[in-house]
Amino acid sequence: MKRYLTLALLLVLLLSSAAWAQTYQEAPMLTEKVAAGELPPLEERLPVNPIVEEPWEQIGVYGGTWQHAHTDVDMHEVRFVIGYQPWIGWNKELDDFTPIVAEDWEFNEDGTVFTMYLREGLKWSDGHPHTSADIMFWWEDLLLHEDYIEGPPFWARAGGELMEVEALDDYTVTFTFAEPNWAFPHFLVQGPRSWGYRTPKHALQEFHIDYNPDADRDMEQLEMRKVDPHKYPEIPTLYAWQTVEYVEGERWVGERNPYHFVVDTEGNQLPYIDRIESEYVGDQEVLNLKALAGELSAQFRLFDTLELPTFLQRQEQGDYRVLQWDRGNDATPALMLNYTHKDPAMRELIQNQTFRIALSIAVDREKINEFVWRGLGTPRQATMPGVVWHYRAPGGQEVYEEGGAIHAEFDPERAEELLDEIGVVDATGDGWRDMPDGSQLQLVIDCGATAVRDIETADLAKEDWEAIGIRTIVNPISGAELGLREQESEYTVRTFGIGGIDQYMFPDWYIPVTNTRWAPLYGRYYASGGAEGEEPPEGDVTWRLWELYEKGLQSPDLEDRHQIALDMYRVHIEEGPFFIGTVGQLPLPVVVRNYFHNVPEPEFVGLQPWYGEPGVRKTELFYIDGQ
């Protein structure tokens, strides 16, 4: 009987193997490598259950080189192109979560334990298995290690306590929280955050002090490879394309990942495109000329909205088409006030809502739209952008419209009346308004030294605020100094584009949970569990926002979480503005050659980094025909 069972099992395996071979196909360049003995056959490279993606337009063809450009030496633009592979992520329509590296997940009954099931047989681009050991290396050997330069992220806490991470087997990992944390998946879908927790243990452990006594004590070399693996061809990836060449300030070259775990609906292993070549272009005008000349296959970022009319006029000549994607940014830029300013008198003034309203209605948004954006945008108050999925819940559009209109009228006379009411008057007779205590009032607007539109906007805001008697200085500084001044709560006003897609995934704009944005010291207090920063005074609006945020985290129902997010926005409508909007709803040109296909034209998009755009749209589905 045993012999017959063995023969029957063998027959089943042979038949299933034949069926498998008919189901999945690979690119010709990989078939050649298999024949040459350089790669194992496809059935040994794909996981047990690959992701199946339906093309945007049609099944593609293999081959071709994607000509691309980047303007940042750290190549963040490249990173967003070559893929989007968090544990779980957005589907390509950005209206639901979907399995990616993880095949499935579930919560226990009270939402305190999140169990994630990894995709069995998934491999890194060098063929090494991806297992729970990689996740435990990220958590135990890095984030919890006393010598590692990075600690656990704010989203690793619930109820003020760090989560516990445990590997039950090679493909099962649990995350245990002190309180219900039903919104945990919201944190995992963000593209950039997944950069940190995708750590190939087998490739990085040689740079870890516990595995290699010759490694740097601070593990700086490890951190560089973890944060920027696309700069190191020897560090494997899960992206659709793997790095084969990188020369800083010159070029990046990637080739298809032979172990990529995504296929199309006909079983073709993706990506369709063989190779991406991205050239460093340090000058914006050179980048524009390359696009106009048809030298770029597809470029999704970096173009200025003001170039849209020119790109549209030259489409036929350059043999390309122009898509107008949403910038995903409804304050371009916002004028963000420091609610936790280190100077007590300035803090008291900024925390006075009347003062903030006066500053807001003193800004001529129509003028900014015309002079800075040539009328292409919409003058409005700063809100979370219209692409946020919470706005699609019942009542969401009303909140979006009300938030965009509140205190956005241009009324300098009323602004002066409000300032008079709170004692911000010219106490010294020199023609400038002073602090309520009689000391000099001066607003300094920090902005990036290379952010031309931010500087132009700040200059116009300066004109408007000085017209109502407030001394104002525009302070262009480096990006590094800009970020440091924000994190240390040393700025008064700074320019910043408001963006996001999900209030729980990236709460920083509306809820102070980190030492960034509009209340950095309160945010640091929250992120550290009270160990650092400053505790808000009793009755401060921050407590109300934290309460709503944690209520959302603990709600098991997604629709309820949407409504709680809308309640957070309503708090900003009632108690704000905390950041003053100027112009929003700006289109961003996407330039695509006519031989480049399967590129969507979605209404719901966002190009801010936390979306992972365009990788979240499954760039492995893009294909070239007729290059």
**Position 21 pLDDT exceeds 50:** no
Average pLDDT value over all residues in the chain? 91
Query: The tokens of 442 are what?
Result: 């001066």
Confidence of residue 5 (pLDDT cuts 50, 70, 90): very low
Query: The tokens of 102 are what?
Result: 């993880």
**Position 15 pLDDT exceeds 80:** no
Looking at residues 95-105, what average pLDDT do you find?
Answer: 92
What dotted CATH number matches 241-327+587-624? 3.40.190.10
Where is mean pLDDT largest: 191-195, 322-326, 408-412, 584-588? 408-412
Asked if the domains at 241-327+587-624 and 330-584 fall in one CATH topology, the answer is no
So what's the pLDDT on residue 13?
36
- Please say whether the beta carbons of 403 and 356 come within 8 A: no
Question: Which one-letter DSSP state was computed for residue 123?
Answer: B
Confidence of residue 385 (pLDDT cuts 50, 70, 90): confident
Query: Domain locations in the chain?
Result: 84-227, 241-327+587-624, 330-584
User: Of 142-156, 420-434, 567-581, which gets the smallest average pLDDT?
Assistant: 142-156
User: Of 93-97, 236-240, 492-496, 520-524, which gets the smallest average pLDDT?
Assistant: 93-97
* Tens of pLDDT, residues 489-510: 999 999 998 877 788 888 888 9
% of the chain exceeding 90 in pLDDT: 74
Scored b (16 or more CB within 10 A) or e, 76-115 reads bbbbbbbbbbbbbbbebebeebebbbbbebebeeebbbbb
So what's the pLDDT on residue 269?
98
Confidence of residue 602 (pLDDT cuts 50, 70, 90): low
Phi and psi torsions of 504, nearest 5°: -90, -35
**Position 20 pLDDT exceeds 80:** no
Tell me the CATH architecture of domain 330-584: Roll (3.10)
* Tens of pLDDT, residues 401-413: 999 999 999 999 9
Looking at residues 98-124, what average pLDDT do you find?
Answer: 96
User: Of 92-96, 405-409, 504-508, 623-627, which gets the smallest average pLDDT?
Assistant: 92-96
Looking at residues 330-344, what average pLDDT do you find?
Answer: 94
Q: What angle, rounded to 10 degrees, do the helices at 558-575 and 541-553 form? A: 170
pTM of the model: 0.85
Looking at residues 93-120, what average pLDDT do you find?
Answer: 93
Looking at residues 271-289, what average pLDDT do you find?
Answer: 94
Least Cα distance to 292 among 308, 305, 277 occurs for 308
So what's the pLDDT on residue 3?
30
Q: Is the peptide bond before 614 cis (omega within 30 degrees of 0)?
A: yes
Confidence of residue 77 (pLDDT cuts 50, 70, 90): confident
Compute the radius of gyration of the chain from its Cα atoms. Answer: 26
CA distance 548 to 570: 11
CA distance 577 to 232: 44
Q: Which CATH number fits domain 84-227: 3.20.20.70, 3.30.540.10, 3.40.47.10, 3.90.76.10?
A: 3.90.76.10
